[in-house]
């Protein structure tokens, strides 16, 4: 699968959100990553469906909504109606995960499932058949600019093999501490979809920043059999 670079608007200038999204689109981004936090599941608070609806006209790129909220089900309809293309929910936040994933599908959206760093790959076994994307957190969710947790790299390879075994075209996303250096480690293990906040919005030139990430991902993807399939 072609690498996807998804800037997280968590690190954008919130006073100019529409312009920031348009700027990363012009700079070569593939998707926009929209981090939703509730000060309950994670210790921070961001934005909801009204903000998604407001920014939706500012880009033609797919918008990937990462829900870090609990409970989650009641919010799925609102984000679907506001223009999400893909909605991801955390295993740790969903006591009835199958129901939550079915709800996203029923709204006609792409379905994502997310694992925190301490959650084992085996928790995906019963849901791989119903998802389009697996997101492995490479930080503990809640804040931009945290250090990459290297112990997750091995899990990326394990999940890549699980996805290959499923026979389904599931994207494998990583999120947290992704830089032009760390992206190589996860791309080598088979990640194909990369969220980056501070490495893009904290850089002086968004095009250069996205280009550096893409070169890192492509260099390692080309060197591994995992991503070649
Ligand atoms: C973390 C969020 C990430 C975060 C990434 O809870 O889910 O999307 O914004 O930011 P960086 O790339 O700065 O680690
Ligand atoms: Zn995220």
* The pair of three-digit structure tokens given for residue 33, joined into one six-digit string: 């990553």
**CATH top class, domain 4-222:** alpha beta
Task: Quick: pLDDT tens for 76-127.
Answer: 999 999 999 999 999 999 999 999 999 999 999 999 999 999 999 999 999 9
- For residue 48, the CA-to-ligand 1 centroid distance in Å is 17
Question: What does the alpha-carbon distance between residue 38 and residue 109 come to, in Å, rounded to a whole number?
Answer: 22
Domain boundaries in the chain? 4-222
178 lines ligand 1 (CB under 6 A): yes
Best residue among 34, 35, 136, 194 to mutate for probing ligand 1, ranked by most atoms within 8 Å of CB: 35
Report the alpha-carbon angle 108-194-131, nearest 5: 30
Question: What does the alpha-carbon distance between residue 117 and residue 140 come to, in Å, rounded to a whole number?
Answer: 6
* The pair of three-digit structure tokens given for residue 85, joined into one six-digit string: 């293309």
Whether pLDDT at 200 is above 90? yes
Best residue among 4, 5, 10 to mutate for probing ligand 1, ranked by most atoms within 8 Å of CB: 10
Q: How confident is the model at residue 221 (pLDDT cuts 50, 70, 90)?
A: confident
Strand ordering across the sheet containing 32-37: 4-7, 193-196, 171-175, 133-137, 110-115, 86-90, 63-68, 32-37
- Active-site positions read 35, 175
Rounded to the nearest angstrom, the gap between the alpha carbon of residue 206 and the centroid of all alpha carbons in its chain is 19
Task: Quick: pLDDT tens for 154-163.
Answer: 999 999 999 9
199 lines ligand 1 (CB under 6 A): yes
35 lines ligand 1 (CB under 6 A): yes
Whether pLDDT at 70 is above 90? yes
CB of 49 closer than 8 Å to CB of 82:
yes
Average pLDDT in the chain = 96
Task: Quick: pLDDT tens for 28-37.
Answer: 999 999 999 9
Whether pLDDT at 74 is above 90? yes
Q: How confident is the model at residue 228 (pLDDT cuts 50, 70, 90)?
A: very low
The per-residue pLDDT for 229 is 41
Cβ neighbour number for residue 151 with a 10 Å cutoff: 9
The per-residue pLDDT for 227 is 47
Ion ligand 2 nearby residues (CB, 5 A): 35, 66, 175
pTM of the model: 0.96
């Amino acid at each position: 699968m072609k690498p996807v670079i998804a800037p997280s608007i968590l690190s954008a200038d919130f006073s100019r959100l529409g312009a920031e999204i348009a700027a990363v689109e012009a700079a070569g981004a593939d998707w926009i990553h929209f981090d939703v936090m509730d000060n309950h599941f994670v210790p921070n608070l961001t934005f909801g469906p009204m903000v998604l609806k407001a920014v939706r006209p500012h880009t033609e790129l797919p918008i990937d909504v990462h829900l870090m909220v609990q409970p989650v089900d009641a919010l799925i309809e609102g984000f679907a109606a506001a223009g999400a293309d893909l909605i991801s929910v955390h295993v740790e936040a969903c006591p009835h995960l199958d129901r939550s994933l079915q709800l996203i599908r029923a709204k006609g959206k792409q379905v994502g499932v997310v694992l925190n760093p301490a959650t084992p790959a085996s928790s995906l076994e019963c849901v791989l058949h119903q998802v389009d994307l697996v997101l492995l957190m490479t930080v503990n969710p809640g804040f931009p600019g945290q250090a990459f947790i290297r112990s997750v790299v091995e899990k990326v390879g394990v999940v890549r093999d699980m996805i290959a075994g499923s026979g389904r075209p599931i994207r494998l996303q990583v999120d947290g501490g992704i830089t032009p250096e760390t992206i190589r480690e996860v791309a080598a293990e088979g990640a194909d979809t990369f969220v980056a906040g501070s490495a893009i919005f904290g850089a002086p030139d968004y095009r250069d920043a996205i280009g550096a990430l893409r070169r890192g991902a492509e260099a390692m993807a080309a060197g591994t059999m995992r991503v070649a399939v």
